[in-house]
Structure 1
Amino acid sequence: MEISPKDRFVTVYGRKPVLEALDDPALSVDKVVLADTARGPAAREILDAARSRGVAVQRATAQRVKVLAGNGKQDQGVLADVVAPRMKPLALALEEGGLRSVLVLDGITTPANVGMILRTATAAGIDGIVVPRRGVASIDPLVVKASAGVAFRAPVLRCGTAAEASALLRASGFPLYALDSHAPDTLYSADFPSRAAFVLGSETSGITDDVRPHITSWLSIPMAAGVESLNVASAAAVLCFELVRRAQSQRT
């Protein structure tokens, strides 16, 4: 299966994020793209940093940089493609096998939430986090910052949409669980296999209509004192470490 560059790199844009990536020896930067209009000390600093790391710098029109960055207001005429060693297409990961626990992000458009979920799920040892190319905040400098840099090495799985991911997972034998505050079965009492996928929807609209038909079971997190629900990143943390707890109890 041929892997698109979008499924291999995290693209960061803006002078400071690009310089931070170039200055981090733990990161492998594939290339820097600099607008042909970029001149002066700021451009020289980026060129010098790239040269010291042996990273190729491509010149492009300012409009081309905006298109590649996907952000016309904050790219500052420069971007860098940072190698994400654990990022791959969902279809390829399913073909290779070995996935046990998978999160699917559905309609989560706040970068801070996506970044925090990536950090938490990676810390919990989740095998894959599906971040669709459409309908979810893209992995940009805001997501990277919220993840405290973990986004670069998170086990991100790519596909077009959450509905596409849900269909692929179901076809591969994964049951799909979704969190809902009104579900009678709770995360703590429900029985589910170690090989399962969990869908996280947005706080405002929950699971999207295209994904709902693929859900096999709904789970709630018990709430006290009249609290209706948790922030999606907080709910993800509860879910991920409940999976950790179950896995550890099975080993003892």
Structure 2
Amino acid sequence: MGDDAAVSPKDRFLTVYGRKPVLEALTDPELDVDKVILADVARGPAVTEIQRAAKAVGVPVQRASAHRVKVLAGNGKQDQGVLADVVAPRMRPLAAALAEKRPPERVLVLDGITTPANVGMILRTATAAGLGGIVVPRRGVAALDPLVVKASAGVAFRAPMLRCATAADAVEQLTEAGYAVYALGSQGAESLFDLELPARTAFVLGGETAGVGGDVAQLVAGWVSIPMPGGVESLNVSAAAAVLCFELVRRDGQHGH
């Protein structure tokens, strides 16, 4: 995929908004800010400070209407008239990752997870566990916004996020690319701890209330569950993701991945 123009900005940047998050992004030496967009009505000392910080690191500042800033931040969010596009170096389209010479061996797919705190914690955990890819579909999952970044403790910027339209779309692409795709469920499935792991495996994590969606359920190769001898029905999805990720670390640890 040599054609960079084909990659949407949403597949390259995380957008942060609000005066404090934007200033923090500009002053973090590890982050590469692509641009800052200020509402033309935004004034005052905080705005001056943002302009000064952007200039110091050579980041262009564009002015736009307050309405445009609101739309870019995702309507109704507390954008305070300012946002910044931060480069997420490991974020790319799922199709691009699958076309690489060494595609990721272990992949998570988020399906219908709408709570930013859960998405952020899953990004943090999966990145910490060294997973090769976390599919965050553009539809049906919480938008990658400052709440997600905050819940990830800033790790979201470095997470290997793979983008596609929907979770079902991801499962189809992964299956075609030779992955065994399992859905994580709570009842009656094979135990995660007994599962034979093929070389390329993907796991779908379902939403907080509905679990894995019906369209996705029809496409997966099978279901796995985390054994719960204590008789509780299910774990929070980010807790389940943590168990899954570190079970993969434990297994793959023998090969020094």
> What TM-score, normalized to structure 2?
0.95
Residue type at the aligned position of 2:138: R
- Residues 114, 208 of structure 2: 8 Å contact kept: no
Match of 1:172 in 2: 177
1:97-246 matches, within 5 Å, as: 97-98=101-102, 99-246=104-251
Structure 2, gaps ≥5 residues long: none
Distance 1:73 1:110 in 2: 15
Residue type at the aligned position of 1:162: A
- Cα displacement string for residues 20-39 of structure 1 (whole angstroms, at most 9, x for unaligned residues): 10110110000000000111
Q: Closer, same or farther in 2 for the Cα pair 1:57/1:136, shift >3 Å?
A: same
Q: Closer, same or farther in 2 for the Cα pair 1:57/1:215, shift >3 Å?
A: same
Residue type at the aligned position of 2:224: L
1:2-21 matches, within 5 Å, as: 2-21=6-25
Deviation, structure 1 residue 97 = 3.8
Deviation, structure 1 residue 251 = 5.2
Structure 1, gaps ≥5 residues long: none
Distance 1:236 1:194 in 2: 20
- Cα displacement string for residues 124-179 of structure 1 (whole angstroms, at most 9, x for unaligned residues): 11000000111001111000000000000000000111111111111111111111
Deviation, structure 1 residue 250 = 4.4
- Cα displacement string for residues 9-30 of structure 1 (whole angstroms, at most 9, x for unaligned residues): 0000111110110110110000
Residue type at the aligned position of 1:78: V
Deviation, structure 1 residue 199 = 0.3
Distance 1:183 1:219 in 2: 8
Q: Is 2:37 the partner of 1:33? A: yes
Deviation, structure 1 residue 73 = 3.3
Deviation, structure 1 residue 217 = 1.0
Distance 1:207 1:197 in 2: 14
Query: What is the root-mean-square deviation in Å for CA atoms of aligned residues?
Result: 1.3
Distance 1:139 1:97 in 2: 28
Any idea what SS the aligned residue of 2:159 has?
A: coil
Match of 2:80 in 1: 76
Residue type at the aligned position of 1:227: V
Any idea what SS the aligned residue of 2:199 has?
A: coil
Any idea what SS the aligned residue of 2:126 has?
A: helix
Equivalenced residue count is 252
1:52-91 matches, within 5 Å, as: 52-91=56-95
Distance 1:103 1:48 in 2: 40
Residue type at the aligned position of 1:176: V
Identity level (%): 69
Distance 2:177 2:189 in 1: 27
Q: Closer, same or farther in 2 for the Cα pair 1:250/1:73, shift >3 Å?
A: closer
Distance 1:245 1:135 in 2: 31
Deviation, structure 1 residue 226 = 1.8
Any idea what SS the aligned residue of 2:191 has?
A: coil
Distance 1:112 1:30 in 2: 25
Distance 1:66 1:25 in 2: 27
Distance 1:228 1:194 in 2: 31
